[in-house]
Chains A and B, each alone.
Chain A
């Protein structure tokens, strides 16, 4: 079976909810510009007391097709194995039926496999390299200026001209026609797709882990993305205007983003477990590391998700946040993509098990 078209991602999710009582269909509140309604699935056994949740999203970037397949198949694996009382084998990595049961009983696993159906449809039928959504509001009639980069539209250091050093090569733009396809939109959460993700995090108030599935480069990334991490000087943080104009330089000593040391350690362990289980499948090496690279980012889902508890000052709302960059190309031949789905799903089952522990 080849790649899923956008109707099949939706019907796959809906059919799982219909077939398995332990899967609850969650309809996202806002339809897309082209009028599509999105769905997520909450997977897990029902319990009276609320459970901690892992929220996994994919398909925000239109051309990174396999992200949706990774999440639909992850949900299907867990549901079939739990109902059949079996374990799961992904190549050389396997999980027992008891481990599957642990995930289903201890966690709510929330999968939202296709955040950006309009963009995926355009990429699958017109321009394979399309990245953004299809909102034309700021295009001024220029087809090349349609759409917003959803993973720059979250509310984290959105005003990058103020926040970052003038020489920092921030990978974002306020120009709708930017050829790097990283137009951030006119304001944070201007897009229905990012508002849907925010709604999901608001709805599952016990979300403690968040994973955004992207491609490519074979990495498992954790916060922060705007600068290097440090755990010694809490004053150096994204909210502090004293450091406006100083963020985002790799080698500079001007600034590094504060992260609680325990969170940094926990994030690293989760990312490492993910990579170990993934490697066990067929030997593919993914690298666990903080998201900041040579170029900083802003307005991304992972930094936003982790920053929420800092802004609300509610420790119990803390979300450890991750971005997977699977594979080495945006849309490999399906025969290769199937192997990548097995790789990443093995990593994600282990990620959930580690979270549940």
Chain B
């Protein structure tokens, strides 16, 4: 897989809200999930970016930590997608994942 197609999941931590707002405005990374506040007042979020973009995100007051190779993990998940149609048989229906239990 050429580097150009690798997307990393990185955790971006900004020292304060102003730094974070400026970063989101300027860099416009693909944000996954929501922004969390850390006990020390800093703020963190996940971004999905190329290795080059990850380097560009790092700046004064901002740290960037690589969590995973999102492209590689995404490919692994694609291998976990069903093929064909498991509900094609006439009597096949989704069963639900809860246990169906008699009342006690």
**Does B40 reach chain A (CB closer than 8 Å)?**
no
Q: A125 at interface (Cβ–Cβ under 8 A)?
A: yes
| Chain A binding surface, main DSSP class | mixed
Cα A331 to Cα B9 with chains together (Å): 13
Contacts of A94 in B (CB 8 A): 101
Enumerate chain A residues within 8 angstroms of B25, measured Cβ to Cβ: 169
Asked whether B103 lies within 8 Å of A97 as measured between CB atoms, the reply is yes
The answer to whether B97 and A295 touch across the interface, beta carbons within 8 angstroms, is no
What are the interface flags for B73-92 relative to A under an 8 Å C-beta threshold, 1 for contact and 0 otherwise? 11111101111011110001
| Distance of A128 Cα from B31 Cα, bound (Å) | 15
The answer to whether B96 touches A80 (Cβ under 8 A) is yes
Contacting pair A128 B70 (CB below 8 A) = yes
Contact check, A129 vs B77: say whether CB atoms are below 8 A apart. no
Are A295 and B94 in contact (CB-based, < 8 A)? no
In the bound complex, CA of A295 to CA of B71 (Å): 27
Tell which of A7, A180, A325, A331 touches B77, judged by Cβ atoms closer than 8 Å: A331
| Known contacts A169-B25, A295-B24; A77 and B98 CB within 8 A of each other | yes
Are A12 and B70 closer than 8 Å at their CB atoms?
no
Do A73 and B32 have beta carbons less than 8 Å apart?
Answer: no
* Complex Cα spacing A125 to B87, Å: 20
Q: Quick check: B103 and A87 within 8 Å, CB to CB?
A: yes
Q: Is the CB of A167 within 8 A of B103?
A: no
- Contact across chains for A295 and B28 when beta carbons are under 8 A apart: no
Measured between beta carbons, the chain A residues less than 8 angstroms from B98 are 73, 77, 81, 88-90, 342, 345-346
Q: Could you give, for residues 6-17 of chain B, a 1 whenever the CB lies within 8 Å of some chain A CB and a 0 otherwise?
A: 010000000001
Measured CB to CB, the residues of A under 8 A from B are 1-5, 7-8, 11-12, 14-16, 18-19, 65, 72-81, 84, 86-90, 94, 96-98, 124-125, 127-129, 131, 167, 169, 171, 173, 178-181, 215-217, 219, 250-251, 293-295, 325, 328-334, 338, 341-342, 345-346
13 contacts between A and B (CB under 8 A): A12-B93, A18-B93, A76-B93, A86-B100, A88-B96, A90-B97, A129-B48, A173-B28, A294-B21, A295-B24, A329-B32, A342-B97, A346-B98
